[in-house]
Amino acid sequence: MTAFEHFYEFFVPDHYQLFFDIDRAKKEITGKTTITGTAKQADIAIHQKDLTIASVEVNNLAATYTVDDEKEAIRISLPEAGEVTITIAYKTKLTDTMMGIYPSYYEVDGVKKQLIGTQFETNSARQAFPCVDEPEAKATFAVSIRYDEHEGETILANMPETKCVDGVHYFDTTVKMSTYLVAFGFGELQGKTATTKSGVKVGVFGTYAHAAKELDFGLDIATRAIEFYEDFFQTPYPLPHSWQLGLPDFSAGAMENWGLITYREAYLLLDPDNTSLTTKRAVATVIAHEVAHQWFGDLVTMKWWDDLWLNESFANMMEYVCVDAIEPDLHVWESFQTKDVPAALHRDATDGVQSVHVAVEDPAEVDSLFDAAIVYAKGARMLVMVRALIGDDALRQGLKAYFAKHQYGNATGADLWTALGDASGIDVGAVMHSWLEQPGYPVVKASVQNEELILTQNQFFIGEGSDQQRIWQIPLASNAKDVPELMTERTLSLGNYTELRAKAGEPFRLNVGNNSHFIVQYDDTLLADILSQVSDYDALTQLQLLQDLQLLASGRYVSYATLVPLLFQFADSTHAIVNQALYNIADEFDLFVEPNTEEEANLKQYYHKLSHKNYTRLGCAPKDADTHDDQLSRPLVLQAALYGGNKDAITEAHDLFTAHKDAIIDLPAAVRAAILLNEVRAYGSEALFESFLQTYRRSSDANFKQDLQVAMTQSKEPVILEAIVAKFKEADTIKPQDLRGWFYGVLANPLGEQLAWDWIRTNWQWLLDTVGGDMSFTSYIQMIARVFRTSERLAEYKAFFEPKLNTPGLTREITMGINVITSRVSLITAEKEAVNKSIAREI
Ligand code: BES
Ligand code: ZN
């Protein structure tokens, strides 16, 4: 690795005065930045990207400088090291890449509007103003902004506005913070505010394309989340306000700018009168995540980007801890188990996956190293493991000390382990090491051999994997007594099985609570024992059993065909998370059937049988007497019943649609997608499509729009699918931020696969230019690998992507994609017959 320059080593900024003059009409920004700081040597460098520098002054005298575009730098030669004031005047552009300072586009009553916002993480602050754009270079910021302002506009920034003189808005100087957290936004905004018990002013802001009531839920959650963390961390929120701003165009999901958190509208605003539990969970957890960062990330910041994982994993864990405390009725840990855990287990089973912690020098690589399933989901799982190990008291005490020690400064993972270790007396770092520095995770085989219960750990792979003989420190969490807490060797004997089983009084299990990142393969004896009592187990245990079996089947450790009859043991479950796991598996059976074949008809019949009883119980429309689980199960069961051709379901869904024909947004949100989909599938027409598309264009309700998208992309009409693909580049209809969902929808539709695949190959450069800078750009490559299932497609995938293997940031994704498709193709070849036979037997 070539040594990478950290500009912070040459120049330590202390204070920035930032002035922006923004002309939306011309898309032009004129800026002036004054930085005071300490030069460690005479030759220093300051970051800039796409800035046209007009002048550089050092201590008020014109200075010599060179612009080094390749290194995104301005190099300045100072007369000498020491205290210095540098003033840089420049011009730049408002770009449409959702990075730096950028416009969001939207309409109110048919009138086109713009909202200006910012997105600086990871390294786009330098695109807005010259700065030492490294997390360690913390400084204070005094921001002032003038813009082509008109009546009725509002401007927000990290700190409160202190005055407005001659159209220039001046904001209070910030506390010491990193450049990537600076933010502002302006336009025609509506807002609602509240105050926390400790006096922090909290606000939610959005465009007037939304009803005022859509701000309420977010405001309530943000306010109580701040109160929760102030108590949990025993550290006050350090700023006077916490603004939440919804931006119509947003590349990520949300961003924790200090004091001014920005959100994709879908993750902030919701209609309190018609929103599903799932969406409420998503919004609440995203808010709680960003608010957690106000301490962990903003107050104490990672020293370098290699610890970005810790920043994100921590916030990802805390979002569940917080929402579970402030809104227990949402049962958010269930989402952790049904979303994060399987995402991590699945992704982490593919050879070539990154470890949670990756050494990274070049900031340009940071975003491409950002594998969400690993960084967020696996990382959070690691921290959940730590939390289970040390308990909440030690966690809180350790965090309090960590914040006190490092506030307004930076820290590393090791600093956190030290703080948690001091608080708990457990060497947290040592346990974590094997999990953070190694990719993948183990499958523990539990088997009875010669009366002895033997555990063996090996790395678990889906597809080809090169076994590196890795060993993990596995918290076993067994239900049997006398089983060691940690498994640290390859094999472990637990002694005589009969005795152990008798003492335990129940079937032997590992990873009780599913808090640790491994799966278990029980031998036939042990599995039969567990399955004989499966209906007595709690929902989480049942979910875990199904999840582990699904992974084992995907990795060919067990046959997929054995899962076909097994699902009936769970099919009538009233638990939503069990239904979720069940239908996740059933959905995989689709891999083994071709469209319009007898096998497909059998699979539908199988779905009908699986869902029949629960559908009869739950029906199509939500009911007042619904339990939490009913609300969450219904959409799953309804989808299954509709796919299974359940006549009652199809008619009831259609009737519900007809009853809401004039305002389909008012369909009950939890089942809206299923009902719209049913309409498209069973009663579709071009007229229906046109009306859905018009509705989509006009709506500003992100959840509703997504439901429409799901329905439209599942059309059975090639002409409609062609019409959709033809709109992919039309930002007035499909915003670039939403394209991913549309693309995936068409691609995953067997009738659209070719169209979407052709489209992306033809428009690759356009896609790169438009959303190539997004932190999750590689998800486009991932989605294709998720869908392809034939050797022909594999060859096409290789032909297209292999020449791009050396593109920085794409290498890993492409390699993993090839592995994923290859293993799927061989899974299908090997198991197709057995699975279809098993399905035919069960219907
Ligand atoms: N800080 C991240 C967003 C981010 C990460 C932007 C890396 C640029 C580079 C933010 O806190 C975040 O995690 N956002 C998530 C949403 C979240 C609640 C899971 C996202 O954008 O997906
Ligand atoms: Zn985050």
Q: What's the token pair of residue 6?
A: 């950290």
Q: Is the pLDDT of residue 587 over 80?
A: yes
Which CATH class name applies to 557-842? mainly alpha
Q: Tell whether residue 319 is among the known ligand binding residues.
A: no
Cβ–ligand 1 contact at 629 (below 6 Å)? no
User: Rounded to a whole number, what is the distance in angstroms from the first to the last CA of the chain?
Assistant: 58
Residues 266 and 706 sit within 8 Å (Cβ to Cβ): yes
Q: Is the pLDDT of residue 585 over 90?
A: yes
Distance CA 313, CA 331 (A): 20
Residue spans of alpha helices (H) in 574-668: 576-589, 598-618, 628-643, 647-659
pLDDT at 630: 98
Residue 840 exposed, middle or buried by CB count within 10 Å (0-12, 13-18, 19+): middle
Residues 29 and 93 sit within 8 Å (Cβ to Cβ): yes
Average confidence (pLDDT) over 604-609:
98
Phi, psi of 409 (to 5 degrees): -135, -155
According to CATH, what is the number of the domain 316-437? 1.10.390.10
User: Dihedral of the CA atoms 577, 583, 588, 594 (nearest 10)?
Assistant: -170
Q: Tell whether residue 628 is among the known ligand binding residues.
A: no
Q: Which atom of ligand 1 is nearest to the CA of 316?
A: 19
pLDDT at 3: 65
Compute, in angstroms, the gap from residue 410 CA to the centroid of ligand 2. Answer: 17
Q: What's the token pair of residue 639?
A: 């989808």
Distance CA 673, CA 701 (A): 14
Cβ–ligand 1 contact at 255 (below 6 Å)? yes
Cβ–ligand 1 contact at 256 (below 6 Å)? yes
Atom 17, ligand 1: residue with shortest CA distance:
286
Residues 126-145 have pLDDT tens digits of 999 999 999 999 999 999 99
Compute, in angstroms, the gap from residue 121 CA to the centroid of ligand 1. Answer: 9
Cβ–ligand 1 contact at 688 (below 6 Å)? no
Residues 267 and 254 sit within 8 Å (Cβ to Cβ): yes
Residues 670-680 have pLDDT tens digits of 999 999 999 99
Q: Which of the ligands is closest to the CA of residue 774?
A: 1
Cβ–ligand 1 contact at 371 (below 6 Å)? no
Q: Tell whether residue 47 is among the known ligand binding residues.
A: no
pLDDT at 2: 47
Q: What's the token pair of residue 314?
A: 């921590």
Residues 605 and 572 sit within 8 Å (Cβ to Cβ): no
Q: Using alpha carbons only, what angle is made at residue 17 by residues 105 and 178, rounded to the nearest 5 degrees?
A: 70
Domain parsing of the chain, residue ranges: 1-184, 188-295, 316-437, 442-548, 557-842
| Beta pairing, strands 111-119 & 100-108 | antiparallel
Q: How does residue 776 score in pLDDT terms, banded at 50, 70 and 90?
A: confident
Q: What's the token pair of residue 742?
A: 């549309």
Residues 18 and 87 sit within 8 Å (Cβ to Cβ): no
Cβ–ligand 1 contact at 740 (below 6 Å)? no
Average confidence (pLDDT) over 739-749:
98
Superfamily of domain 1-184: tricorn interacting facor f3 domain (2.60.40.1730)
pLDDT at 707: 98
Bridge partners, residue 189, by sequence: 207
Cβ–ligand 1 contact at 122 (below 6 Å)? yes
Q: Which of the ligands is closest to the CA of residue 254?
A: 1
CATH fold of the domain at 442-548: Immunoglobulin-like (2.60.40)
Residues 692 and 711 sit within 8 Å (Cβ to Cβ): yes
Same fold for the pair 1-184 and 442-548 = yes
CB 345: neighbour CB atoms within 10 A? 24
Residues 303-349 have pLDDT tens digits of 999 999 999 999 999 999 999 999 999 999 999 999 999 999 999 99
Q: Which of the ligands is closest to the CA of residue 339?
A: 1
Compute, in angstroms, the gap from residue 384 CA to the centroid of ligand 2. Answer: 16
Average confidence (pLDDT) over 754-771:
97
CB 502: neighbour CB atoms within 10 A? 9
CB 146: neighbour CB atoms within 10 A? 18
Residues 385 and 426 sit within 8 Å (Cβ to Cβ): no
Q: Name 122's Cβ contacts closer than 8 Å, sequence gap at least 6.
A: 180, 305, 308, 363, 366, 367, 775
Residues 392-447 have pLDDT tens digits of 999 999 999 999 999 999 999 999 999 999 999 999 998 899 999 999 999 999 99
DSSP 276: -
Cβ–ligand 1 contact at 253 (below 6 Å)? yes
Within its chain, how far is the Cα of 516 from the centroid?
20
Q: Which of the ligands is closest to the CA of residue 120?
A: 1
Specify the range with the lowest mean pLDDT, choosing from 294-308, 358-372, 584-598. Answer: 358-372
Buried b (16+ CB within 10 A) or exposed e, 308-337: bbbbbbbbbbbbbbbbbebbeebbbbbbbb
Q: Is the pLDDT of residue 368 over 80?
A: no
Q: Is the pLDDT of residue 172 over 50?
A: yes
Q: Is the pLDDT of residue 668 over 50?
A: yes
Shortest CA distance to 797 belongs to which of 769, 771, 817, 827? 817
pLDDT at 1: 37
Q: Name the percent of the chain lying above pLDDT 70.
A: 100
Atom 10, ligand 1: residue with shortest CA distance:
255
Shortest CA distance to 396 belongs to which of 457, 321, 470? 321
Shortest CA distance to 684 belongs to which of 654, 647, 704? 654
Q: Is the pLDDT of residue 82 over 80?
A: yes
pLDDT at 775: 81
| Beta pairing, strands 52-58 & 61-62 | antiparallel
Compute, in angstroms, the gap from residue 353 CA to the centroid of ligand 2. Answer: 21
Distance CA 539, CA 580 (A): 11
Which CATH class name applies to 188-295? mainly alpha
What's the whole-number average pLDDT of the chain?
96
SS3 call for 451: coil
Average confidence (pLDDT) over 180-185:
98
Q: Helix 628-643 and helix 598-618: axis angle, to 10°?
A: 150
Pocket test for ligand 1, best of 255, 265, 323, 740 (most atoms within 8 A of CB): 255
Average confidence (pLDDT) over 476-503:
95
Distance CA 424, CA 391 (A): 8
Average confidence (pLDDT) over 459-488:
94
The residues carrying an active-site annotation are 290
Compute, in angstroms, the gap from residue 227 CA to the centroid of ligand 2. Answer: 19
Compute, in angstroms, the gap from residue 315 CA to the centroid of ligand 1. Answer: 10
Distance CA 228, CA 234 (A): 10
DSSP 139: B
Q: What's the token pair of residue 396?
A: 């809180």
